[in-house]
Amino acid sequence: MIYIVSGLPRSGTSLAMQMVAAGGIPVLTDGLRSSDPNNPRGYYEWERIKQLAQDPGCVAEAEGKAVKIISSLLMSLPGGHAYRVLFMMRALEEVVASQTAMISNLGTRGAALPAAAMPAALRAHRNQVIAWLGTRKEIAVMQLDYHALLADPAAHAVEIARFLGLPLDTEAMAKQVDPALHRQRTAQAL
Q: Phi/psi of residue 19, each to 5°?
A: -65, -50
Reduced to 3 states (helix: H, G, I; strand: E, B; else coil), residue 25 is coil
The reply to whether 190 falls in a domain is: no
- The structure's pTM equals 0.86
Please tell me the total count of domains within the chain. 1
The reply to whether 189 falls in a domain is: no
The reply to whether 122 falls in a domain is: yes
pLDDT in tens, 47-95: 999 999 999 999 999 999 999 999 999 999 999 999 999 999 998 888 7
The reply to whether 136 falls in a domain is: yes
The reply to whether 58 falls in a domain is: yes
What is the residue range of 146's domain? 2-179
Q: What is the pLDDT along the chain (190 residues), one digit of tens a residue?
A: 999 999 998 789 999 999 999 999 999 999 887 776 666 677 799 999 999 999 999 999 999 999 999 999 999 999 999 999 999 999 888 877 755 555 444 455 555 556 667 888 999 999 999 999 999 999 999 999 999 999 999 999 999 999 999 999 999 999 999 877 544 545 554 5
Q: 120: burial class by Cβ within 10 Å (0-12, 13-18, 19+)? A: exposed
The reply to whether 187 falls in a domain is: no
The reply to whether 84 falls in a domain is: yes
The reply to whether 185 falls in a domain is: no
CATH number at residue 167: 3.40.50.300
